[in-house]
A = this chain, B = another copy of it.
């Protein structure tokens, strides 16, 4: 990826996670990245196009973590699921507990912008789908009840996590994340 483009995306992700989309001016992004306006429009058609590409970059990071955790067959499948969320929690911690970028931008923009609404829902659906594979493996080997609907349970887990991520952002704390993960994993196993 072109260095300037990459730098703009890294800065954009950091600033947008904190301030959101509308409150963040293009000038601030350019000043922080040390990039002139012309270069920005060389790489991005508009602020909206830029934000959509920032989401793509965020989602690539999520998929790298999904890959690193959920396919690591040295661990039983439910441990892999826990490892994924532990990795996300670590990223949140490094960012000062600002929650989930998808949830944050999803809330701000999905009331009026259909492109963001569908894109962010697709991202969450893909994250849940990756977990569903692990949960199905857990079901087959008897770590989850045989009646467990892996896909639906994965969606529940991702959705509950998103709520805990909002609360983590409000409290600047990991506590809601740890508690929801313990609660959901215990609930899934005992259903």
Contact = CB atoms under 8 A, between A and B. Distances in A.
Instruction: State the copy count for this chain.
Output: 2
Given A163-B166, A166-B163, A108 B156 contact: no
A116 B162 CA distance: 19
User: Chain A contact residues (Cβ within 8 angstroms of B): what range?
Assistant: 35 or more
Interface string A82-122: 00000000000000001100011011111110000100110
Given A162-B167, A190-B187, A19 B111 contact: yes
A93 B107 CA distance: 17
Interface stretch (A4-12, A73-81, A135-143, A169-177): A169-177
A53 interface: no
A23 interface: yes
B110 A107 contact: no
A169 B114 CA distance: 11
B106 A169 contact: yes
